[in-house]
Structure 1
């Protein structure tokens, strides 16, 4: 079974100190025999080329260079960075998952919501932070990968509801009914759906019933490790064993979020 080393961090922007902190953690882990295979950053600069981007681009021959960049897809939004080791293929597939133009989601909205709620959903999507996705390959397996700085605030479709940790439940309602969700929960034999990011929900929010009838669970069937609002989660193909998580921990850095790491075995 393959072991994939994953590192995720909401950097809350790109600063010189943040780049130094991240590089120190990467160097420390490598020195102790733990080579990150997937490094993903939320709240990077809106455009490629910031100081964390440059630091990741200079890590050397063990990594695919330079990191891939994707935007949050909304006016004034920030970006995401993805850097994979040379053992992982597919970094170039990393891109914003624009739910506003997701045909499966749009069909669900038109088929399941009232006309006023349809208008509310379409308006909300115009300003909602989007996830970014990639189709990665590692050790002969496919990883359907998603990162997200999930939107905060009360729901407008799920009126007034807020998830534990502050996330907007509408974001997860839209995700669960989109075209990008199915590969995450049914990734294929011996493959995995993998999510790493700032999901703006707590462990309790992930694992307990939300009390919202139309969204009883946020990411049902996912397992993983967490540090406050940051998570590394995996989902097997139906009927297969859950992935396991080891070497997990976090590192304090110059952000309101810690750097979260884990080895995912699937």
Structure 2
């Protein structure tokens, strides 16, 4: 069974101190025999080339070089960084998932919302932080992958609704009804869908019924590990065993988020 080592961090921007903190954590876990296979950063700079990007690019031959960058997809927004070990394929598929251009989501909006609701949804999507996705390969398996700095605030389509942790429920409503969601929840035989990022929901928010009829659960069927609003989650193909998570922990770093790590076995 493949053991994938995952590290995720909302860096709250790229600073020299943040780059040093991240390198210290990577050095620490690697010295102790745990080399990250997937390193993903939320709230990186709006363009490639910042100090965290440069630090990751300098990690050496154990990694696919350089890291890849994707935008949050909103004017003035920040970006995401993804670096994978040489054991992981598919780093080059990493890209912003622009939900307002997603044909599956557009079809759902047209079929399920009134004209005012459709107008609200499309206007909201224009200013909403988008996820980024990749199709990774590891240990002979495929891993549809998503990272997200999930948007915050009350819903505009799900009017006034809120989620524990502050995430905008509309973001999850749109995600669950988009074309990028199905590969995550039905990733194929012996594969898993993988999510790592700052989802702006608590563990309670992930595991309890929201009380919102149109969105009873945030990410149903996903399991994983969490540190406050940051999560590493996996979803098996229907009928298969859940992935397991070991060597999990978090490390204090500059900014407002810890660096979260875990080994995902699937």
Q: Normalising TM by the smaller chain, what interval?
A: over 0.9
**Displacement after TM superposition at 1:255 (Å):** 1.2
Tell me by how many angstroms 1:131 deviates: 0.1
Post-superposition Cα deviations, 1:121-154, rounded to whole Å, max 9, x if no partner, equal 0000000000000000001000000000000000
Q: Deviations over 1:217-255 (max 9, x none)?
A: 000000000000000000000000000000000000001
Corresponding position: 1:258 with 2:258: yes
The yes-or-no answer on 1:88 pairing with 2:88 is: yes
Tell me the alpha carbon deviations over residues 64-84 of structure 1, each in whole angstroms, 9 at most, x when there is no partner.
000000000010000000000
Structure 1 residue aligned with 2:220? 220
Partner residue of 1:118? 118
* Corresponding residue number in structure 1 for 2:41: 41
Q: How many residues align structurally?
A: 266
1:102-251 equivalences under 5 Å are 102-251=102-251
C-alpha RMSD over aligned residues: 0.3
Q: Separation in 2 of the partners of 1:23 and 1:66?
A: 15
> Which string of whole-angstrom CA distances, capped at 9 and with x for unpartnered residues, describes residues 144-200 of structure 1?
000000000000000001100000000000000000000000000000100000000
Is 1:61 the equivalent of 2:64?
A: no
Any runs of at least 4 consecutive aligned residues in structure 1 with deviations exceeding 4 A, and if so which?
none
Q: What CA distance in whole angstroms lies between the structure 2 residues aligned with 1:255 and 1:205?
A: 23
- The unaligned stretches of length 5 or more in structure 2 are none
Q: Which residue of 2 is the match for residue 75 of structure 1?
A: 75
Structure 2 CA distance for aligned equivalents of residues 165 and 80 of structure 1: 21
Report deviation, 1:97: 0.2
Mapped to 1, the partners of 2:53 and 2:76 lie a distance apart of 19
Residue 97 of structure 2 corresponds to which residue in structure 1?
97
* Aligned twin of 2:11: 11
